Amino acid sequence: MDTLDKIETLVIGAGVVGLAVARALALTGREVVILEAADAFGTVTSARNSEVIHAGLYYPTGSRKAELCVQGRERLYAYCAERGIEHRRCGKLIVATSGAQLGKLDALHAQARANGVHDLQRLTGDDARAVEPALSCVAALWSPSTGIIDSHGLMLALLGDAEAAGASLALCSPVTGGVITAEGIVLDVGDVGGAQPMQILAREVVNAAGLSAPAIARSLRGWPATPEATAQQPTAYFCKGNYFACSGRPAFSRLVYPIPEAAGLGVHVTLDLGGQMRFGPDVEWLDITDAAQIDYAVAPERVQGMAEAIRRYWPGLPDGALQPSYSGVRPKLGGADVAAADFRIDGPAVHGVPGLVQLLGIESPGLTSCLAIADEVVRALS
């Protein structure tokens, strides 16, 4: 293996989580290279979401999603203030639109407290309408710790910190496979232009490839022949969420969320930093097996289901006000009939491979949790 390029630490994927991980590892003094398949950083899941800083109230108590979201939220607000990243603690309302949903609202409030989110306030329908007159609801929870962020600005700051600590970003560098050896992990790194792949030997590899992370995990050869290693091989499922823009003056100045649904948090009102409203995401399971097969186009006919969901809490939505905007895809580890999986941060203690950390199923609240996830990776490699 003397002819191989050798690097101490490789991070696969330059989305918000990969960049946060690269930053954290570079700050420990490691030699870090970030491999990104696209021709720019943060062009996939990190660029196709609601840009919300979540409070941490939705996720099962004791789960990594809950713990890392609560930890990451305050870390992220502090980092934004320190680096001058545009953001706003606009808060959000979670609304019950019928008496049948009041029990779910109470359960959500109790779960938030169990998760360490203690600033939620229960509002009556009249209380909620006093702050958002366009709302229709019978009760609501007010979450003052929820906010919005310029995700591109965040990624620029993370990359800048990583590069200042000596890390480098290699674009157009897709990982096509690899092998686990006694000397380290050898990755096959292809070129988008079609050149022969090069091979790089790394002592440490972090798979932060988002939608492609399960495929990369399965492409690695030489896994230990143990039940633990075999059990960790993931299968990817793809759940698309479509967003629609709304013409006219914004009806809301805060985020508005319905009671969450099985595969997501429901079609909600989200705001950009300029105050413009958009709605989404809905839930559209994709019958594909490879991230390369994703079609991000938003089908105009989905507007009917979107409008029906919105009018449950905003009956004043004008006809024809919604236009297709953009879509994103949630990197799921289970299908439509399976409860949402927790974040997987599979390090050597899980699968037995020294120097390897796999970040799998990092959907929402991955952006909010990115700095906390990065700390977990550093610990897993310590």
Residues 159 and 39 in one domain: yes
Token pair listed for 343: 């974040």
Which pLDDT score, from 0 to 100, does residue 1 have? 43
Which pLDDT score, from 0 to 100, does residue 195 have? 59
Q: What is the CATH number of the domain that holds 165?
A: 3.50.50.60
Residues 220 and 346 in one domain: yes
Q: Which residue has the higher pLDDT, 69 or 262?
A: 69
Which pLDDT score, from 0 to 100, does residue 2 have? 46
Cross-strand pairs, 148: 52, 88
**Cβ neighbours of 106 (radius 10 Å):** 14
Residues 132 and 242 in one domain: yes
Return d(Cα 197, Cα 219) in angstroms, integer: 15
Which pLDDT score, from 0 to 100, does residue 194 have? 53
The confidence band for 232, taking pLDDT boundaries of 50, 70 and 90, is confident
Enclosing domain of residue 358: 5-48+152-234+340-380
Which candidate, 12, 115, 64, places its Cα nearest to that of 333?
64
The confidence band for 252, taking pLDDT boundaries of 50, 70 and 90, is very high
CB 154 within 8 A of CB 366: no
Residues 177 and 100 in one domain: no
- Report field, pTM of the whole predicted structure over 0.85: yes
How many distinct structural domains can be found in the chain? 2
Say if 271 falls within a structural domain.
yes
Say if 15 falls within a structural domain.
yes
Which pLDDT score, from 0 to 100, does residue 3 have? 55
Cross-strand pairs, 143: 92
Could you report the per-residue pLDDT of 3-38, keeping only the tens digit for each?
578 999 999 999 999 999 999 999 999 999 999 999
- Average pLDDT (352-381) is 97
Return d(Cα 68, Cα 366) in angstroms, integer: 9
Residues 179 and 222 in one domain: yes
Residues 125 and 250 in one domain: yes
Return d(Cα 76, Cα 370) in angstroms, integer: 8
* Contact residues for 170 (Cβ-Cβ < 8 A; gap 6+): 33, 34, 35, 36, 189
Residues 320 and 251 in one domain: yes
Residues 96 and 160 in one domain: no
Distances (CA, A) of 269 to 98, 244, 245: 18, 10, 10
Residues 249 and 135 in one domain: yes
Residues 107 and 247 in one domain: yes
Q: Which residue has the higher pLDDT, 275 or 105?
A: 105
Which pLDDT score, from 0 to 100, does residue 370 have? 98
Could you report the per-residue pLDDT of 170-191, keeping only the tens digit for each?
999 999 999 999 999 999 998 6
- Average pLDDT (338-360) is 95
Residues 204 and 311 in one domain: no
Helix (H, G, I), strand (E, B) or coil at 107: helix
Token pair listed for 362: 């990092």
CB 302 within 8 A of CB 284: yes
